[in-house]
Structure 1
């Protein structure tokens, strides 16, 4: 198990255009690899970008929301929360009284922080394994910056 999972991304600035660019980059990377994903970029509780591939289950938007809720609540990536829960023998429901219909500790949502401002956005991917979802976001970020 990788214990060095990126917990958050900190940038000097973030705006809607950058969020759109990142969403499109994730889409392009997935398309090049014939991967079917759902993507959502959310800034200050409004959605900048959403895409759900054709053959994904109809409830995929709920997976995105639940992963993003974890990243927002803990202010760290949903994959790092998953590992923290496993390593600490904890659960969202029993330890934190979080409704598992609203929160999902699986990889694929990473919070975006702006220096001297705090958390301003989340980027969420679903459709692959949770580690692949997480690392697809990171790869898109590397090629965007």
Structure 2
């Protein structure tokens, strides 16, 4: 990627982070977002693993056919990067590249525990800030990132299912 392409990609991801802010984030929200991700990945026959966390708590995990335990390791490493920097793992890696270096060479963080590769995205709640991360692993980093962005965009634009009223119980 050329320096100009890196700069353009950084601007795009910064815009995505500003735009993809949730009004709230509950356990049910994690389940809904995870379902959207699994459906999208299934439609594409993408061999990915999906992980959604709020703080230290894992709220959703799914491993689609073709994924492996290695993907789970990548998920955790990318998520740690989001937790540490408060930004997309892809954006963090690109910012190091824009400085002419790499995350591994300049971050001083253990590469066995952190990865600045695309696929983990901050879960930001309006008026609160970053509360967690949603991550995908199994595709090239730009595709992992794009899958998460597509899912968050759908999450924010699709109508939420309305709870059905309980049927009345007769005598």
TM-score category by the smaller chain? Answer: over 0.9
How far apart are residue 124 of structure 1 and its match? 0.2
Higher RCO (C-alpha 8 Å, min separation 6): 1
The answer for the alignment partner of 1:105 in structure 2 is 116
- Contact 2:93-2:103 at 8 Å conserved across structures: no
- Contact 2:48-2:65 at 8 Å conserved across structures: no
The answer for the alignment partner of 1:81 in structure 2 is 92
Could you list the per-position Cα deviations for residues 7-45 of structure 1 after superposition, in whole angstroms to 9, with x for gaps in the alignment?
433222111111111111000011011111110000121
Give the structure with the larger helix fraction.
2
RMSD: 1.4
Unaligned runs of 5+ residues in structure 2 are 157-171
Following the alignment from structure 1 to structure 2, what is the Cα–Cα distance between the partners of residues 112 and 104?
A: 18
Following the alignment from structure 2 to structure 1, what is the Cα–Cα distance between the partners of residues 153 and 105?
A: 36
Any runs of at least 4 consecutive aligned residues in structure 1 with deviations exceeding 6 A, and if so which? none
Q: What secondary structure does 2:67 align onto?
A: coil
TM-score normalised over the length of structure 1: 0.92
Following the alignment from structure 2 to structure 1, what is the Cα–Cα distance between the partners of residues 24 and 69?
A: 34
The answer for the alignment partner of 1:33 in structure 2 is 44
- Contact 1:69-1:103 at 8 Å conserved across structures: yes
How far apart are residue 62 of structure 1 and its match? 0.5
TM-score normalised over the length of structure 2: 0.79
**Which among 39, 58, 68 is matched to residue 57 of structure 1?**
68
Unaligned runs of 5+ residues in structure 1 are none
The answer for the alignment partner of 2:132 in structure 1 is 121
> Between Structure 1 and Structure 2, how many residues are aligned?
145
The answer for the alignment partner of 2:10 in structure 1 is 3
How far apart are residue 94 of structure 1 and its match? 4.1
How far apart are residue 57 of structure 1 and its match? 2.9
Following the alignment from structure 1 to structure 2, what is the Cα–Cα distance between the partners of residues 114 and 90?
A: 32
How far apart are residue 3 of structure 1 and its match? 2.8
